[in-house]
Structure 1
Amino acid sequence: MKTIPLINKNDAKAAKISAQFVLEVHKSLTDFLRAGVTLPEIDSFVGEKLRSLKCKSAFYKYRIPGQPPFPSQSCLSINDCVVHGTHTMSQRAIEPGDLVSIDIGVTHQGWIGDAAWTWAIEETTEENMKLMEAGRESLLAGVAAMQPNRPLMDFAKAVQNVAEKEYGFHLIRGLGGHGYGKSLHAPPFISNVASPIHP
């Protein structure tokens, strides 16, 4: 298992600034997103907003060995696309009722901020609203479960309990979160599912 790197106060401040830029981009999307816009238009908007903040996308041209560079400024996932969708996946306009998840990654002064938000476009189904509520409530439960000197698996158990037992959804195995740092997927891996292979 990789250890979690310790950082000093100046590094923590720089990391916080990157996170604040992520928040600012998401807030600007709240006013921009509506039925009729396309994924390429959303991605272009994100790129322009990042430039106005004098920072860069942490995702654009990101490479995983053996894969082509990531083509988008942000990860754009509609409806049943779970994660890491791109602006090239669909040219259709977003429609009322769609769920749109946008993952923003920001690089600023060497530090990366990263967070995904999901929006319901206009009126949506009760099931979609329940899904978004389950996501929010499971995250809150996971954060509340994280305590000093406790294993990260406490987070996973809390998230899984809310999402699967309380709301009846099924979490995707193998997906989870990660640390903040100077690399996009900084350690540790934060599982959403209680498993003996994750600490």
Structure 2
Amino acid sequence: MFGRDRVELKTPEQVLLMRRAGLVVADALAAARAAAVPGATTADLDAVAARVIADAGAQPSFLGYHDYPATICVSVNDEVVHGIPSARVLRPGDVVSIDCGAIVEGWHGDSALTVVLPEADPADVQLSAVTERAMWDGIAALASGAGLADRLGVVGEAVEQAVEAAAADGGPQLGIVQDYVGHGIGSAMHQPPDVLNYRTRERGIRLKPGMCLAIEPMITRGDPATDVLDDDWTVVTGDGSRAAHWEHSVALHEGGIWVLTAVDGGAAELAARGVAVAPLA
């Protein structure tokens, strides 16, 4: 452990507890995703996720965090992140981003996904697909052929390259939200370092075994500028364009990387990018 504003390095035993939390999050997200159908309310999704977390003997990371009133965040259409579950009824074609966190013995997992309800606008489907691809490209960039990459800035570089590549292939120009970024995770849900989703001149901190990071690009179909609604939580696009959000928590260890909130540890997606995951001991 390090002091304030320093990155927390986890022991292998602590990472295993985070893996347990990550699998609870994966189960809760899968259940909420299955419940996300036209006619359901966003509060219905919250109740489903809360039940999964409770049944696992875990605690929700979000509930009570700075007085946040729910177990998950459900952000719809132009809502980028931090949407509060409510009586809002989901409708055909909605873009629904679901963000979930859970705690096991004091250690956190955090993950998010986006689902586009039928009848889906193909542009919304593409938005979600590019965002998910950018997340996995960012995760893959954390690994080198022999272990870990050198600096954290590789994540933002990879995410921005993925968005640029989609546009170069004939897709639309999409916006990368810069107001909200990924983060360290461990004994608290949000910790140093910030994990940027865009390239900068700074290479970022040196990557070390024991770091755990939440990689979470948020991408819009329009301008990436955002506003916060009067509830002081819900973040929306300034121009009303739709947004997608994907996230996984990733452990860095001596052998390489392991995706804590993916059931397979990220093996399938990372293998497609030439990266072999390194299972936890």
TM-score above 0.5 = yes
Conserved 8 A contact 2:75-2:96: yes
Paired residues of 1:15 and 1:180 also in contact (CA < 8 A): no
Q: Which of the pair is proportionally richer in helix?
A: 1
Q: Does residue 1:137 correspond to 2:142, yes or no? A: no
Amino acid at match of 2:60: S
How many residue pairs match? The answer is 192
Gaps of 5+ in 2: 168-172, 205-281
Q: 2:180 corresponds to which residue?
A: 175
| Cross-structure match for 1:87 | 85
Rounded to whole Å, the distance in 2 between the matches of 1:22 and 1:116 is 9
Output the CA distance in 1 between the equivalents of 2:125 and 2:149.
35
- Which stretch of the first structure deviates more once superposed, 42-51 or 76-85? 42-51
Where does residue 47 of structure 2 map in the other structure?
A: 44
Runs of 4+ in structure 1 over 3 Å off: none
Code of the residue aligned with 1:134 in structure 2: it is V
Report the residue type matching 1:153 in the other structure: G
Alignment check: 8 A CA contact 1:174 1:191 kept:
no
The CA deviation string for residues 139-189 of structure 1, in whole angstroms up to 9 with x for no partner, is: 121122223252111110110121245332110113211122010102221
Q: Normalising to structure 2: TM-score of the pair?
A: 0.64
Indicate the SS of the match to 1:117.
strand
* Larger fraction in strand: 2
The whole-number CA distance in structure 2 between the counterparts of 1:117 and 1:10 is 27
In 1, Cα distance between equivalents of 2:159 and 2:55: 36
Percent identity between matched residues is: 25
Q: Which residue of 2 aligns with 1:5?
A: 8
Q: Mind listing any 5+ residue stretches in structure 1 that lack a counterpart?
A: 64-68
State how 1:2-81 maps to structure 2 within 5 Å.
2-63=5-66, 69-81=67-79
SS in 2 for 1:11: helix
The one-letter amino acid paired with 1:72 is A
Alpha-carbon separation, structure 1, partners of 2:83 and 2:72: 9
Aligned to 1:161: 161
Partner deviation per Cα, 1:17-68 (whole Å, 9 max, x = no partner):
00011111112223322110011221122212211111111011101xxxxx
